[in-house]
Amino acid sequence: MSAVINIAEKLAQFTDHWSPKIVGQVNDCEIKLANIKGEFVWQSHEHADEMFLVIKGRLRMNLRDRELIVNEGEFVIIPHGVEHMPIADEEVHIMLFEPKGTLNTGNLTNERTVHTPERI
């Protein structure tokens, strides 16, 4: 069923950090929104590419060999198998495009892993 999704309204429904929420699906990819702040964990996804679109703020994406700066209105695609660590010095709102079932912590499981993201 087709529906118009208002990103700002969806982001206003939650304030927690590093807990992505599913807002849609395109074929086998989920579209997620998240608020992030601070440093996350080094991770990689063996079989999944990820796209990070910055809705608000400035994201630093650390890779093992460099750091990428992703500003509001920009996105970065992290290919599968590439280790990365997102960092948000101030709160950043992001939209993620990734294959259904992709864990937010990638190849590791810890206290920050969201096994079943909430659908909003």
pTM above 0.75, yes or no: yes
Tokens 């960092």 found at: 87
Domain extent listing, the chain:
7-99
For 50-65, write each residue's pLDDT tens digit.
999 999 999 999 999 9
Reading the block at residue 97, the tokens are: 């495009």
pLDDT tens figures, 63-89: 999 999 999 999 999 999 999 999 999
- Residue 104 in this model has a pLDDT that exceeds 70: yes
CATH of domain 7-99: 2.60.120.10
Burial class (CB in 10 A: 0-12, 13-18, 19+), 7: middle
